[in-house]
Each structure stands twice: as C-alpha cells, then as structure tokens.
Amino acid sequence: MDNQLEKPQQITFDITDRCQMKCVTCNKWKISAGDVINKELTTEEWKKVLVQLRDWLGEGFWFCFSGGEPFLRKDIFELADYADSLGIKVASMSNAFSIQNLYEKIVDSPIQSLNISLNAISNPLIHDTSRGREGSYEKALDSILTLKKLRDEKKSKLGINIATILFPENIEESIPLVEFVTRNKINGIMFQLLDDAESFQAYSVRSSSQTSTYVMPKELRLKYKSMAKRAIEVINRLIEMKQAGHSIYNSFEQLEAMKIFFNNPDDILRTINCDVGSTNYAIDPYGDVRLCFNMDPVGNIKENTPEEIWLNQKSAECRQLTKSCKMYCRMLNCNFKHNFANFNKSFLQRCKNKIGKILCGIK
Ligand SMILES: C[S@@+](CC[C@H](N)C(=O)[O-])C[C@H]1O[C@@H](n2cnc3c(N)ncnc32)[C@H](O)[C@@H]1O
Ligand code: SF4
Ligand code: SF4
C-alpha cells in the first residue's frame, strides 16, 4: 500500500445518468431513462454511503451532486438534508432547465454551492445550440438571477456560480460572462476546457478508455487549433481580470496551463501529471466507484465501504495507470490540481524557454 496516500479531496455523487438536454459536447442524454431508473441506488443506499463517508473522512468535507442532471432525482433535497445533518457540505451542478419550480426549495436547502452551466451571455443562440434545446439560455439565466435575488432576500448560504465550457463558437462570450458575473454579484465563474465528448458517456453504457494509447480525434484537434490564437488572448485577459478582483475560480496556474495547451495540446501530456488517482472519488448512479472517470470502476459501494475501495488493489492499479495516461482531461477543473505542485520540473523549465516566456509572461 502507498504510505503517502491521503484521503480523497474531490468527492462526486453522479446520482443519475438521466438528462433532459441534448448537449453537443456530451453523450449522457442518449440513454433511455426507462432503462436506468430502476437500477439507480436508492435514497437509503445513498444515505448509507453518506454515513460511511462521514465515518471515514470526518465532518466538514464537501461533495458535489452531478450526473446527468441531478435535479431529476426527486430525493436530492432529502439527501442534501441528510448530508447536512451529518455535518457534510453539499454542492451541486445543474443545467437549470427544470428547476424553475424548485427555486425556494433550493435556497432553503443546505446546498451551499450551485454551479449552473451557461455557455454564452450576449448570444442566446450559442448557448441553446450547444445544449441542443431551445429556451435553455432563458431558463439558465432566469435561474441564476432569480436564485441570486431569493438568496439575498432570505440571507441564505447558497453560492451561485456559472460553469462555462470554452469552444470555438463561444470564445468571444468569455469576457462578457465575467463582466455579467461581476455586474450581478454572482459568486463566481469557472471555465472548463472542452474535452472529447466520448469522455462524457452515461455510466450505464460506458466502457473504459485506452488511456495509455489515446489519440485526440482529428476533429477535436482542429477545433482547438482554430481557436488557439484567440483563446490565448482571451485567457490573458481573464488573468488580468482575475488579478483585478473579478471572481474567476480557475487558478492562475490552470489558466497558464490552458495557454500552454492551446499553443500545443501535446505539451500538457509532458508537463502536467494527473493526480485524480489520489484526489478524486466519484460514485456513479449504480454504486460503481471511479477515481478516473475514463477508467474501469475500482469497486462498488454496495459491496464494500468507501474506505475499503480507496485502499484496495484495483485502486492501486488505477493510480499506476494514471502515470502512463495520454488523455487531456487532466485539464478539466475537477481533475486539475490547483497549485504549482502539479507542474513538474519540465513545465517550469519550459517557462524559461522562448515559448514559455511568451505564454507565461515571464520577462
Ligand atoms: C456532465 S455535466 C453534469 C451536470 C449538469 N447536467 C450540467 O450540465 O450542468 C457537468 C459539466 O460538464 C460540462 N461538459 C459537458 N460536456 C463537456 C465536454 N465535452 N467538455 C468539458 N465539459 C463538458 C457541462 O457543461 C457541465 O458544466
Ligand atoms: S452536459 Fe449536463 S445537461 Fe448536457 S447532456 Fe450532459 S449531463 Fe445533460
Ligand atoms: S488525464 Fe487523468 S482523468 Fe483523464 S483519463 Fe488520464 S488519468 Fe483519467
């Protein structure tokens, strides 16, 4: 067993694969809800997991409901209340398409951080097209503004954040999105690098990826190339805005890494190790646990406790596999370790060479 191994820091409950959107970046919605709904963990099974996690990790840790669309689970508030009663802090993601009749409930619930996905602010069509459903922009915007108003009126603890994927069609939206966040006193915004849609499969149909021989699809590589020049300019501006106090959650290190990535995606594979094996713990709707969402499950929560799974042989093997991984999802917010310890020496050396100096702004 690895003596250096600590407890996980990034815990996700992907409570359902089901989703009502048709995002072009994600394949989760392609499954049939009827095929999976009866296979999902029950409320009682999730509650048992919460108790086991609290016994292992102690009070005060955070976990995030995600999916699929987590608010399609009717028991999400019951689970949030239960987690709160155990001293566990609750966050959630949402596409905000079907939460309009839940605003009061959300604000009154113990959810302390709600990340609403929004890919554009000045051009609704960009958001709606990316999400595959007309009217999704209007609903996401209404959710952000109404929840903010209610939160302020009720002095609730709810933090409201925006999650934005960066892709060629919305790159000009990034700065206006940050300005919108600041103008409307939204808690913050996080930018997500576009990843291969193949990585965003429903768990019910997911097969593990060949992470050590992965090759980025040509189409995705061309997409990155087409936006690279402008993306680097925009990220430079985001760095300035963050320095000036705008609430951009991505660390400076991650923003710098994004520039390296856009300059040449392959550089990231040489310079950034992926730490998910020792930080992440994601439980899927059927109880399977993954440290890396592209690899095989390392156990099932119905058969073993969270701690037993974390310390088992499969988890050790998964950690080993992360070392030879050739995938780019190490750049995603949930996988990127937010400090310089993540950058190995060659990254720092690159910063001293010509390209690194330009990208990192080193004189
Ligand atoms: C898989 S969704 C689950 C939560 C919820 N359904 C939502 O969309 O907010 C979590 C996040 O992944 C983002 N996402 C979807 N496809 C992506 C891709 N190909 N690359 C990077 N992020 C992606 C979504 O925009 C969302 O912010
Ligand atoms: S990104 Fe979220 S909203 Fe879009 S299809 Fe995937 S799970 Fe659904
Ligand atoms: S980069 Fe990290 S999260 Fe992505 S497949 Fe490799 S080990 Fe898994």
Residue ID of nearest Cα to ligand 3 atom 4 = 329
Closest alpha carbon to 12 in 48, 56, 87, 62:
62
User: For 249-265, what is each residue's pLDDT tens digit?
Assistant: 999 999 999 999 999 99
Provide the H-helix boundaries in the chain.
33-36, 43-57, 76-85, 103-108, 124-131, 136-154, 174-183, 218-243, 252-263, 265-271, 276-279, 306-310, 313-322, 345-352, 354-360
Mutate to test the pocket of ligand 2, among 12, 17, 19, 143 (most ligand atoms within 8 A of CB): 19
Average pLDDT taken over every residue of the chain: 92
Residue bearing tokens 């768990």: 203
Q: Is the CB of 11 under 6 A from ligand 3?
A: no
In ligand 3, the atom with minimum distance to the C-alpha of 211 is 5
Instruction: Report the pLDDT value the prediction gives residue 131, as an integer from 0 to 100.
Output: 98
Q: Is the CB of 265 under 6 A from ligand 2?
A: no
In the chain, % of residues over pLDDT 90: 89
Whether residue 357 has pLDDT greater than 90: no
Q: Which ligand is nearest to the CA of 327?
A: 3
Amino acid present at 53: L
Closest alpha carbon to 199 in 187, 211, 190:
211
Q: Per DSSP, what are the bridge partners of residue 92? A: 65, 114
User: For 131-166, what is each residue's pLDDT tens digit?
Assistant: 999 999 999 999 999 999 999 999 999 999 999 999
User: For 174-190, what is each residue's pLDDT tens digit?
Assistant: 999 999 999 999 999 99
- Edge-first strand order for the sheet with 159-166 is 188-193, 159-166, 111-117, 89-94, 62-67, 10-16, 280-283, 288-290, 299-300
Mutate to test the pocket of ligand 1, among 117, 261, 329 (most ligand atoms within 8 A of CB): 117
Mean pLDDT calculated for residue range 76-96: 98
Whether residue 350 has pLDDT greater than 90: no
User: Are the beta carbons of 177 and 164 closer than 8 angstroms?
Assistant: yes
Residue bearing tokens 């999902």: 40
In ligand 1, the atom with minimum distance to the C-alpha of 193 is 21
Residue ID of nearest Cα to ligand 1 atom 24 = 117
Query: CB under 6 Å to ligand 1: residues?
Result: 19, 23, 25-26, 66-69, 93-95, 117, 163, 165, 192, 194-195, 197, 200
Instruction: Report the pLDDT value the prediction gives residue 349, as an integer from 0 to 100.
Output: 47
Closest alpha carbon to 68 in 206, 214, 259, 270:
206
Closest alpha carbon to 261 in 163, 172, 162, 350:
350
Ligand 2 centroid, distance to 24 Cα (angstroms): 9
